[in-house]
Amino acid sequence: MNCIRTIYTLHTAQSASTVLIDEPELSLHPELQKNLYQLLLDFAATKQIIVVTHSPHFMDWAILSNTGTLHRVGLNRDGFAEAKRCSREALRNVSGSTQGITSGKYYDAVSRELFFSDVALPVEGPDDVNYISNFLEKIYETNTNATAPAEKPIKLSN
């Protein structure tokens, strides 16, 4: 029912209006989530669409790095909700990190899962551990420069 309301709202909202959609992924199969995401992209050409989601299927690093804005809401050290905006440069780094990798689509999916994880990311086996470890190393290399050393990512173990 939520999907039907979302589609109805998109079709009836005036051009140049803002549409806020809360958790469009509820009760949707992942394949339908991908289809709805594509529909949202189509409507984003004439409307501002704001999506609050927990689903990695509503993220595309390449699109976000060029035209989108990404905010992540979480708890700060004092236990209060805090919204943080991801910089355009960080979005481009994540998007660019999948270029030239044989399993680029898999790395993109991993980066989306990492974004939604607060502390731990369950994996299915040693291959996942290797993919994620390699991905974190690539991000570390991309974001490190000679004047500002960064912490190396924690090595994962299975």
> Which pairs count as long-range contacts for 8-13, CB under 8 Å and 24+ apart, including other chains?
10/39, 10/40, 10/43, 10/47, 10/49, 13/47
18 Cβ partners below 8 Å, 6+ apart?
47, 48, 49, 50
Domain assignment present for 128? no
Q: What is the pLDDT of residue 124?
A: 67
Domain assignment present for 95? no
Domain assignment present for 90? no
Please give the residue range of the domain that contains residue 29: 1-58
Q: How many domains does the chain have?
A: 1
Question: Which bin fits 64, alpha (ψ -120 to 50), beta or left (φ > 0)?
Answer: alpha
Domain assignment present for 127? no
Q: What is the pLDDT of residue 9?
A: 92
Domain assignment present for 141? no
Q: What is the pLDDT along the chain (158 residues), one digit of tens a residue?
A: 688 888 899 999 999 999 999 999 988 988 899 899 999 999 999 999 999 888 888 877 778 778 878 887 888 888 898 888 888 887 777 776 656 555 555 556 666 666 666 655 656 667 777 777 777 777 777 665 544 445 554 554 44
Domain assignment present for 43? yes
